[in-house]
């Protein structure tokens, strides 16, 4: 992603998080129950390193820490969102690695993560070059045999979110973006009810590298 576009996008998300409380944002979940279940079903050990891409102020990190996961990284473009999560967690925040930046451009350690989780970042990548960079980053940062959990708007989901366009995916189309290096293990459909009461259709894909 070109640097000027990256900065424009970062500024957009900082404004979004400044304008509303976390529990007013459309993607808010009191508990990320489906994500936690899928992470557990992957056989992820509490001692395994995992990353929540676009985790922002999500409560997934709270749920993971409560279940004994001790090597969690939360990555997001918005420093404001990460600070909200840190404040909410209090002293527990010191056990988490917090990364501010664009997932397509950061220098992540090679084969670092046993599990890569992304709920509602990938569908914002409307540019094919950005999607390619994202997939290459996942290939680089996830260890062989590691898992990806990617959730995007389904074919009948919203066409935009927070004022930005998105790409909607069927399960097959989403898996195709990641290619043969990732084996599709399972998929699930979710109807998410936003704090405002509207419904959003998501597809979750669980994939394994190698």
pLDDT per position in the chain (210 positions), as tens?
444 344 457 787 788 777 777 777 777 788 899 999 999 999 999 999 999 999 999 999 999 999 999 999 999 999 999 999 999 999 999 999 999 999 999 999 999 999 999 999 999 999 999 999 999 999 999 999 999 999 999 999 999 998 889 999 999 999 999 999 999 999 999 999 988 888 999 999 999 999
Q: What is the pTM of this model?
A: 0.91
Label residues 28-41 b or e (16+ Cβ within 10 Å = b).
bbeebebbbebbee
Name the CATH code of domain 3-209 (choices 3.20.20.70, 3.40.50.150, 3.20.20.140, 1.25.40.10).
3.40.50.150
Token pair 């993607």 in the structure block, residue: 27
CA-CA-CA-CA dihedral for 153, 159, 161, 165, to nearest 10: 110
Integer-rounded Cα Rg, in Å, for the chain is 16
């Amino acid at each position: 992603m070109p640097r000027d576009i990256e900065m424009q996008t970062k500024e957009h998300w900082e404004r979004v998080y400044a304008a509303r409380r976390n529990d007013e944002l459309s993607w808010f979940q009191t508990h990320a129950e489906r994500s936690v279940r899928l992470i557990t079903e992957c056989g992820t050990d509490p001692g395994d390193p995992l990353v929540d891409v676009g985790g922002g102020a999500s409560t997934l990190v709270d749920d993971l820490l409560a279940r004994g996961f001790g090597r969690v990284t939360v990555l997001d473009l918005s420093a404001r969102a990460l600070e909200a999560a840190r404040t909410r967690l209090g002293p527990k925040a010191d056990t988490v690695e917090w990364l501010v930046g664009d997932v397509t451009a950061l220098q992540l350690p090679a084969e670092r993560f046993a599990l890569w989780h992304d709920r509602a970042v990938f569908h914002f990548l409307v540019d094919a070059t950005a999607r390619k960079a994202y997939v290459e980053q996942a290939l680089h940062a996830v260890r062989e045999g590691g898992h990806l959990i990617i959730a995007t708007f389904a074919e009948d989901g919203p066409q935009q979110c927070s004022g930005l366009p998105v790409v909607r995916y069927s399960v097959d189309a989403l898996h195709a973006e990641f290619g043969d290096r990732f084996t599709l293990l399972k998929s699930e459909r979710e109807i998410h009810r936003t704090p405002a009461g509207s419904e959003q259709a998501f597809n979750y894909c669980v994939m394994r590298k190698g």
